[in-house]
Every structure is written in C-alpha cells, then in structure tokens.
Amino acid sequence: MLDNEILLDTGTNEFEIIEFFIDEVDGGTDERDYFGINVAKVLEVVEAPDGLEAADGAPHPSYLGTMSLRDIILPVIDLAVWLGIERKESDYELIVVTEINNVITGFLVTGVTQIHRIGWGDLKTPNKYIADLDTNCITGTVHLEDRFVLMIDLERILGELDPEMAERSDGQVYTAPEKMTAVLVDDSVSVRALLNKNFESANFEVKLYTNGQEALEALKEINAEAKESGGTINNVVDIVVSDIEMPQMDGYTLTRSIKEHADLSCLPVILFSSLITKGLYHKGEAVKADDQITKPEFNELTGRAISLIEKYRAKRQ
C-alpha cells in the first residue's frame, strides 16, 4: 500500500508522481516508454495475476476483465492497448491500482521505477503532435534526468470507457437568483467546457483560466481595477472554482495565495477535483478552501457555489 502522506505540505506548488513504463516492440526493436501519474491517485502496485486477457464483447479492446484484490473486485485496463502501443510481453508485469472519482481501477504496465518530487512549474504542456493524437490522454511532460515522462490523464480514459462517469447529476436544476460571476480554473479543455456550460446555465457570468498562475494574475489585475474605481473584488467576482492538478500552479497553491492576500481573501474558493477523497480532504482544509467537491459532480457544484456565495454575501451585510 502506498503511503499518501509522502505528499508535500499543501500549497508548496509541488507534488509527487509515480513513474512507470511500458516496454514497446516498434519495428522489430525494443523501446521503453515512460509515463507518470500523481501518486495521490495510487492505492498500491501489485503483481499482475495470470489469465488477464481481452474478452469478446468487451466494452473496449483495452478491457482485460476483473481481478480480485482482497475484498475488492476491480476492472483492469491494458494501458498499452489504450495508447496504441504494442507491448512486449513479459513474465512479470504490474498492476497500478488507482482510486479516481471514488472508482477503483487497475492499469496493466510493464514495470514501475520510482516516485519523484517535482514542481507544477516543471510540468510542460504537451507539444502539438501529442495533443493531436486520437487517443490523447497526455496532460503534460516532465524532463527527468535522461528521459521525458508523459503524464497520463486517467480520468479521461475512464470517462471514455464509462461516459456516465464523465458528468454526474443529482437531478436538481440550480439557478442563481441574480447574475453572479465565477472564476473557473482547469487545465482540461473538456472540463472547462462542461464547467462553462453548467455555470452559464445557472445564471453565471464565467471567466475561464487554464492554470492557477494565470488565474491568480488575473484576479490581482481585476482587484487593482476595482480599487481604482472605488470598489472591491467582490463587485466583480463572486467565487473561484479550481481544479487541483494543473501546470504552473496547482489549485492548493492558488487557494492559499487567495486566502493570504489582503484583498482577495474575501472570495470563497471551491476545489473541484478527482483528488478529493476522505484521505486527502484535510489538504484542502489546510489552505482554507471553503468547499471541496469530487469530480464529476458538475451539477451539485453549481448548487453549492450559489449557496456559498449567498453565505458570504450575508456575512458582509
């Protein structure tokens, strides 16, 4: 079992990745491809059991059926098949067991190297070639020693395998009683589109940003302009909703920066991420996030945002 307490103090703009690899047969030569995911999503790494193979009628060729892990039956995905890689067969392969959006899944890989501590500023945006791949699930690249590690968007893989997982709804329709303004921060194009749609439908004006650094700089500019006109940031922005995992600056660091800023601290902040679990909830509390919601509860998010804004407004009266 991995110990998630190896994660750094919240708000340092650093995180830990677990690096793994897939041995590829490419044109008769062997190559090793390196990938990584946030270690906070990994429960453990176990040896792959015998008998895993794609079954006829499987929802996707990468689906290898299920395996038993103590008292849990979990689905197993062949990551090489999903990525379009011809994996070199090995007698000893591993399953990276993850928990994402409260769903436990195993991913078959060739092997695991180690855990690395890196800064979000070291995570670079994928180049155009990688971004344009049909099966693109790469969120960024990290240069480690003599190799590049591709960061995998497991949420996208799981969302495409199970579309209901991509967006859940509690069945209620939430609408702000008057026009409100939300700053929404997420590095995923698809997630930003869903956030934009849901908040606009709930009577919000939306300001979209791709990472914490970009959002923080924008908020400081908005605040300066508001002060020049004799107002405050609350006259322009009602709430900030942020992902956690983002290049340049993560959501924890963004939240801490807002809450420690003399003028911005009056803004409510909601963290909206698949990283939000019972075991990691305390990290959002440490940076004084007002609320934390697990993706993909998009509809519930708008309802709780409206309630939080009304609560803050009542305090100011």
Winning range, highest mean pLDDT, from 37-46, 189-198, 261-270: 261-270
Domains located in the chain, CATH noted = 4-163 (2.40.50.180), 167-316 (3.40.50.2300)
pLDDT band, residue 77 (cuts 50/70/90): very high
Write down the mean pLDDT value for the chain.
87
The pLDDT of residue 264 is above 90 = yes
pLDDT per residue as tens digits for the range 208-248: 999 999 999 999 999 999 999 999 999 999 999 999 988 88
Residue 189 pLDDT exceeds 90: no
Report the alpha-carbon distance of residue 127 to residue 173 in Å, rounded.
39
pLDDT at 3: 46
Residue 306 contacts by C-beta under 8 Å, 6 or more apart in sequence? Answer: 174, 175, 176, 177, 180, 202
Confidence of residue 25 (pLDDT cuts 50, 70, 90): confident
Please write the tens of the pLDDT for every residue from 145-169.
Answer: 889 999 888 887 887 777 665 555 5
Ranges of beta strands (E only) in 39-191 are 42-47, 63-69, 72-78, 94-100, 103-109, 111-119, 138-144, 147-152, 180-185
Look at residue 185 and tell me whether its pLDDT is greater than 80. yes
Q: How confident is the model at residue 6 (pLDDT cuts 50, 70, 90)?
A: very low
Angle CA 81–82–85, to nearest 5: 50
For the chain, give the percent of residues with pLDDT over 70.
90
What is the band of 90 on the pLDDT scale with cuts at 50, 70, 90? confident
Residue 315 in tokens = 């305090």
Q: Rounded to whole angstroms, how far apart are CA atoms 40 and 24?
A: 27
Q: How many residues does the chain have?
A: 317
| pLDDT the model gives residue 5 | 43
pLDDT (0 to 100) of residue 9: 55
Q: What's the average model confidence in pLDDT over 55-72?
A: 86
Residues 105-144 have pLDDT tens digits of 999 999 999 999 988 878 887 665 555 554 567 878 888 8
Write down the pLDDT at residue 304: 96
Asked if pLDDT for residue 279 goes beyond 80, the answer is no
Q: How far is Cα 19 from Cα 250, in angstroms, rounded to an integer?
A: 20
| Of 8-17, 77-86, 210-219, 308-317, minimum mean pLDDT range | 8-17
Q: Give me the residues paired with residue 87 across strands.
A: 24
Burial label, 168 (beta-carbon count in 10 A; 0-12, 13-18, 19+): middle
Closest by CA position to 76, among listed 165, 157, 168: 157
> Would you put residue 147 in left (φ > 0), alpha (ψ -120 to 50) or beta?
beta
- Residue 121: predicted pLDDT: 79
pLDDT at res. 149: 93
